[in-house]
């Protein structure tokens, strides 16, 4: 399998886009393919752009520091291999064709095949260059994707939804879900500090959250049983409470939720007593060890956790690390039913090598009415920016604002957590 985790592709994409945006005369610039659709793994990287002097833009592209080999170079396109072994194709295209080509190269293949079938019924033929009336042979190219989709009688379909999972039928009826946007998010529900294994203080994390326009942040340091240096026990949580209250005085307008990421032991018990958990604003519980249990044992372990009245959120439910660790074995339906029946939330962990819930699991949770909490699992200030990945993953799962708990204002969130 030549696909790589999106975590490996994104830094390459960001470096290339930054480099190309410094090229004189380069205008539109977009990554296409699996990266634009935000699949958790990607093959080659496709980048499209428009430029006053295409040859100059292509020449600038192949001079990138990360180029190991120039596989091909022409007047309007080039293919390179990066030093990390990722193939990147750049195409400089005429502005009037940019929308048609961006749509085509974004895919997915299945989405585009289904679009072509729909177009044929309208007497139209699709190609990367635009839309042709079959009877007259008249071809039209499109500068932007909105006009392309409108010509086919449908709403614009967000790139993350283009997987041929029913989006075309809904777009034809004008009934696509209004999927989540970054601006809908009011806070981050999974953040670590120097109290456990994070790199920043409570104040630094909270200030960074406020800089991002958040109303609240949940400080959820690891419990003592995980074995991280200075995990949280009852005494440390009490000392941290004092620091959180002082931080809120220094940062008016930001609510800091006192929380913990409590470790789920192999038998499904938690490594902090219920009376300690009961005094917190939010409790997220995660599996961090004994991950090779049988599906039956893991399912029983997770169901036991979800039946604990003091747990609010099941963290990174599958336990996967992209390209490094497979998901745990469990009966997903049974675990999700336990979450629903006990009024729990499932986390969509936005850490770029986790992305867990997956898009399909999140869609299943959404359909069951289980609220989803997006958390970055931030261990450093810049990790707070991983929220954008959680949002894009939620869009792949067709999640709307109402499905995501951290779109709620602080008072409504605390009410949802039963902490009013």
Indicate the pairing of strand 130-133 with strand 139-140: antiparallel
Rounded to whole angstroms, how far apart are CA atoms 368 and 386?
26
The neighbour count for residue 200, using CB atoms within 10 Å, is 21
DSSP 157: -
Give the domains, in start order, of the chain with CATH numbers: 4-93 (3.30.460.10), 97-173 (3.30.210.10), 182-416 (3.20.20.140)
What was the pLDDT predicted at 2?
Answer: 82
Rounded to whole angstroms, how far apart are CA atoms 187 and 203?
15
Rounded to whole angstroms, how far apart are CA atoms 294 and 319?
14
Q: What are the residues whose beta carbons fall under 8 Å from the beta carbon of 277, sequence distance 6 or more? A: 260, 262, 270, 283, 310, 311
DSSP 281: S
What was the pLDDT predicted at 190?
Answer: 99
What was the pLDDT predicted at 230?
Answer: 76
pLDDT reading at 49 higher than 80? yes
Q: What share of the chain is helix, strand, coil (3-state, %, to 5)?
A: 40, 20, 40
Cβ–Cβ < 8 Å for 319, 287: yes
What was the pLDDT predicted at 229?
Answer: 64
Indicate the pairing of strand 67-73 with strand 77-82: antiparallel
DSSP 128: T
pLDDT single digits (tens) 60-110: 999 999 999 999 999 999 999 999 999 999 999 999 999 999 999 999 999
Share of the chain above pLDDT 90, in %: 97
What was the pLDDT predicted at 227?
Answer: 66
User: Which has the closest alpha carbon to 375: 398, 354, 401, 361?
Assistant: 354
What was the pLDDT predicted at 273?
Answer: 96
pLDDT single digits (tens) 143-197: 999 999 999 999 999 999 999 999 999 999 999 999 999 999 999 999 999 999 9
Ranges assigned E (strand) in 120-191: 124-127, 130-133, 139-140, 187-191
pLDDT single digits (tens) 387-417: 999 999 999 999 999 999 999 999 999 999 9
Confidence of residue 419 (pLDDT cuts 50, 70, 90): confident
pLDDT reading at 306 higher than 70? yes
Rounded to whole angstroms, how far apart are CA atoms 304 and 298?
10
User: What angle is formed at CA 292 by the lines to CA 290 and CA 293, rounded to 5 degrees?
Assistant: 80
What was the pLDDT predicted at 226?
Answer: 67
Q: What are phi and psi of 142, to 5 degrees?
A: -130, 130
Rounded to whole angstroms, how far apart are CA atoms 135 and 132?
9
Confidence of residue 420 (pLDDT cuts 50, 70, 90): low
Q: What are the residues whose beta carbons fall under 8 Å from the beta carbon of 285, sequence distance 6 or more? A: 261, 262, 263, 264, 270, 305, 308, 311, 313, 314, 315
Share of the chain above pLDDT 70, in %: 99
Residue 371 or 323, more confident: 371
Least confident piece of the model among 31-40, 41-50, 224-233: 224-233
Q: Is 203 exposed, middle or buried (0-12, 13-18, 19+ CB in 10 A)?
A: middle
The neighbour count for residue 147, using CB atoms within 10 Å, is 15
Cβ–Cβ < 8 Å for 325, 331: no
Rounded to whole angstroms, how far apart are CA atoms 316 and 390?
12
Q: What are the residues whose beta carbons fall under 8 Å from the beta carbon of 382, sequence distance 6 or more? A: none
Q: For tokens 């005494």, what's the residue?
A: 235
Annotate 229-243 with DSSP letters as a single string.
Answer: TT-B-HHHHHHHHHH
Longest dimension (CA), the chain: 79
Alpha helices (runs of H) in 122-215, residue ranges in sequence order: 145-151, 167-173, 202-211
The neighbour count for residue 54, using CB atoms within 10 Å, is 21
pLDDT single digits (tens) 320-346: 999 999 999 999 999 999 999 999 999
Confidence of residue 278 (pLDDT cuts 50, 70, 90): very high
């Amino acid at each position: 399998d030549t696909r790589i985790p999106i975590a490996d592709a994104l830094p390459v994409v960001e470096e290339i886009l930054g480099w190309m945006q410094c090229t004189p005369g380069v205008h539109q610039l977009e990554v296409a393919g699996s990266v634009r659709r935000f699949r958790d793994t990607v093959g080659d990287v496709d980048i499209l752009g428009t430029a006053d002097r295409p040859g100059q833009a292509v020449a600038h592209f192949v001079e990138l520091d990360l180029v190991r080999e120039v596989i091909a170079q022409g007047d309007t396109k080039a293919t390179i291999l990066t030093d990390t072994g990722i193939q990147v194709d750049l195409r400089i295209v005429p502005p009037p064709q940019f929308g048609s080509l961006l749509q085509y190269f974004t895919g997915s293949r299945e989405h585009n095949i289904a679009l072509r079938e729909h177009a044929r019924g309208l007497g139209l033929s699709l190609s990367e260059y635009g839309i042709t009336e079959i009877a007259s042979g008249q071809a039209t190219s499109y500068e932007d994707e909105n006009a392309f989709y409108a010509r086919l009688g449908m709403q614009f379909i967000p790139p993350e939804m283009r997987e041929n999972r029913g989006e075309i039928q809904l777009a034809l009826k004008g009934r696509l879900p209004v999927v989540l946007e970054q601006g809908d998010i009011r806070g981050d529900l999974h953040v670590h500090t120097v109290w456990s294994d994070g790199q920043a203080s409570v104040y630094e994390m909270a200030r960074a959250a406020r800089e991002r326009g958040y109303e609240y942040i949940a400080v959820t340091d690891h419990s003592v049983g995980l074995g991280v240096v200075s995990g949280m026990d009852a005494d440390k949580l009490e000392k941290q409470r004092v620091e959180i209250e002082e931080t809120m005085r220094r940062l008016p307008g930001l609510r800091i939720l006192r929380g913990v990421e409590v470790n789920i032991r192999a038998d499904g018990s938690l490594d902090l007593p219920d009376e300690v958990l009961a005094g917190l604003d939010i409790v997220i519980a995660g599996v961090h060890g004994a991950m090779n249990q049988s599906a039956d044992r893991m399912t029983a372990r997770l169901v036991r956790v979800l039946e604990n009245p003091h747990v609010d959120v099941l963290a990174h439910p599958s336990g996967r690390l992209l390209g490094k660790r497979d998901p745990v074995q469990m009966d997903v339906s049974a675990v999700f039913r336990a979450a629903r029946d006990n009024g729990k939330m499932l986390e969509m962990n936005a850490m770029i090598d986790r992305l867990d819930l997956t898009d399909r699991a999140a869609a299943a949770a959404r359909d069951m009415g289980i609220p989803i909490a997006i958390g970055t699992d931030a261990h450093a200030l810049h990790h707070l920016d991983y929220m954008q990945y959680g949002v894009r993953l939620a869009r792949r799962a067709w999640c709307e604002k109402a499905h995501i708990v951290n779109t709620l204002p602080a008072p409504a969130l605390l009410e949802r957590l039963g902490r009013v």
